[in-house]
A and B are shown apart, each in its own frame.
Chain A
């Protein structure tokens, strides 16, 4: 079946603008995760959804970042007033949700490369 997909694959924006990044998880996966990966670093946890609700948003760096998953499937990561430091690859992952995030295998998408000029 289809894997996790993310759109757009690349996004270039100007400082101060608003951006939305979309994630389509694997069908039937109840858990969805967002990560941010800066150059030369491993992925950094941002937020975890179980169904429609954000079970853990402690990784969001500040209130400019927000994510939703209104129907328990597709998720959108929203960044307001973008800053140059937000430039990174934003990764989405999904998992079946049965085992819990500590043990579930996460399946990653290709990422969205965000560049803030």
Chain B
């Protein structure tokens, strides 16, 4: 069965630090990849997505993610975090064999020290 792993459960950074959140998936075929974010007290919302083409995807609020097929990874990055980036981040995948299901990772809680 397909799965998504986010190995960092809680990351604490200072403002202006660089961010990289890991995401690995297990599926050998074609995948679509997503990062969702949930700010405190708000709904889950899409940060960015990858379907095909350029493996470096840019999303909202200065976030980007790189799809590395050989590593089954889709890590999220931001060069300089802000206090407002404090949130829970979820990596997710859909595949063509289970296309109606988004499979989510367990999430990474990001805390930014002002």
Contact = CB atoms under 8 A, between A and B. Distances in A.
A6 to B, nearest CB: 10
Contacts of B32: 102-103
A58 B44 CA distance: 23
A33 B44 CA distance: 13
A90 interface: no
Interface in B61-114: 90, 92, 94-96, 99-107
Given A3-B43, A105-B46, A106-B46, A40 B106 contact: yes
Contacts of A42: 4, 90, 92, 104-107
Nearest to A106: B102
Interface size for chain A: under 10, 10 to 19, 20 to 34, or 35 or more residues? 20 to 34
Contacts of B46: 105-106
Nearest to B49: A105
Given A48-B101, A56-B100, A43 B44 contact: yes
A65 interface: no
Interface of A is mostly: loop
Contacts of A58: 101
B45 interface: yes
A110 interface: yes
Contact of A41 (B49, B96, B107): B107
A101 B44 contact: no
A26 to B, nearest CB: 12
A102 B96 contact: yes
A107 B45 CA distance: 7
A109 interface: yes
A66 interface: no
Contacts of B103: 45
Nearest to A91: B44
B100 A48 contact: yes
Interface of B: 4, 32, 36, 43-46, 49, 51, 90, 92, 94-96, 99-107
